[in-house]
Amino acid sequence: MKISSTSAVALCLGFILMSFTGHCYGQLQVGFYREKCLVDVEAIVTQVVAAKFNEDPTIAPALIRMQFHDCFVKGCDASILLDGNNTEKTAPPNLSVRGFEVIDAAKDAVEAVCPGVVSCADIISMATRDVFALINEGCRYDVQTGRRDGSVSLAQNVDLPSPRISVNDSIAAFARKGLSATDMVYLLGGHTVGVAHCSLFQDRLYNFQNTGKPDPTMNPWLASQLRPICPQNSTGSNTVNLDQSSQSSFISKSYYWQILMRNGILQIDQELALDPLTRSTVQGIALFSDFRSKFGQAMVKLGAVEVLTGTQGEIRKSCRAINTN
């Protein structure tokens, strides 16, 4: 479906008005740096991100996923950025978390004009908002800022949900972060962009739960398309689009239609459309919701999980290391 530019503008306007009257979470606020830097640091981040996106559009899904992984482990405190022998980014679910160099470039650009003021955690949130706009017809949500950076990053703290988590357990995991089941269904719509490695869903194609058969919830046609890409005894390093529709590099509700047609790639994606706990929410989004603005609102909520504000934490000089002195 091609959306006319008039209706896209109308959708976008509704969205912007809505976000001005929207909720604030915690002590974060829109425009936190407005009085603190002589230059518009958000615009600087936007420029850096747009330049990187032009070189490699796959940084859009990469940054959206980075925000999820940062916020779900010890809150949105940029702990995922810290280098070291045993930091979060070395834990197995890091597989394919990418985009660290984009955050570094944005941080360098911001430090050059307003040193020691802008947190790395906020740069992740700003950059995520910027890639969102780039794959959402220019519609931007107002990003909240005022986060401070954490100093602890340990691989053993990484307890991200597995792609084989049940809907019930996933709801509980999101609830522990203050996010509702509805928030969770919107946020999993992040899987409308980006890719998954075969190793994370290969079991569904051949020997699902030791039955010797494919996962019966997967559309047999999809399974037949995926098997040549993900051969049974391969290393599983090939990738496929998480959203199998042709619009999969843009934010759209196509993900929800795909999972209703049993074309979910990850087990949790498929279960979302089948489990009575979430099925009606999925149907409601597919049919009625203004998904693209609701997804933005859910990202704002995700960006407020267990944040450090005020005098907590620090403003890192380099996003990859805690300050020394």
Ligand X SMILES: *[C@@H]1O[C@H](CO)[C@@H](O)[C@H](O)[C@H]1NC(C)=O
Query: Catalytic amino acids?
Result: 69
What distances in angstroms separate CA 136 from CA 151, 202, 263, 287, one per listed residue? Answer: 34, 30, 23, 19
Here's the x/- map for ligand X, 218-237, by CB under 6 A: it reads as: --------------xx----
Residues 235 and 199 sit within 8 Å (Cβ to Cβ): yes
Question: Rule CB under 6 A: which of 160-179 touch ligand HEM?
Answer: 161-163, 165, 170
Determine the Cα–Cα distance for residues 239 and 196; give it in Å rounded to an integer: 5
> Containing H/E element for 14?
helix 5-20
Would you call 306 helix, strand, or coil by DSSP?
A: coil
Look at the alpha carbons of 139, 163, 302, 178 in this order and tell me if their dihedral is positive or negative. positive
Taking CB under 6 A as the rule, does residue 50 contact ligand X?
Answer: no
User: Is 75 annotated as belonging to a binding site?
Assistant: yes
User: Tokens at residue 85, please?
Assistant: 């022998």
**Which of 27, 29, 90, 151 is in the footprint of ligand X by CB under 6 A?**
90
Q: Which of 203, 66, 84 is nearest to 127 (CA)?
A: 66
Taking CB under 6 A as the rule, does residue 152 contact ligand X?
Answer: no
Q: How far is the CB of 294 from ligand HEM (least distance, A)?
A: 12
**Which of 84, 163, 178, 236 is in the footprint of ligand X by CB under 6 A?**
84
**Which of 193, 223, 259, 304 is in the footprint of ligand HEM by CB under 6 A?**
193
User: Is 183 annotated as belonging to a binding site?
Assistant: no
Taking CB under 6 A as the rule, does residue 312 contact ligand X?
Answer: no
**Which of 24, 172, 229, 287 is in the footprint of ligand X by CB under 6 A?**
172
Question: From the centroid of its chain, how far is CA 223?
Answer: 26
User: Is 77 annotated as belonging to a binding site?
Assistant: yes
**DSSP bridge partners of 196:** 240
Look at the alpha carbons of 277, 282, 285, 288 in this order and tell me if their dihedral is positive or negative. negative
* Residue ranges of the binding site: 70, 73, 75, 77, 79, 88, 161, 191-192, 243
Binding site for ligand X (CB under 6 A): 84-85, 89-90, 92, 94-95, 168-169, 172, 232-233
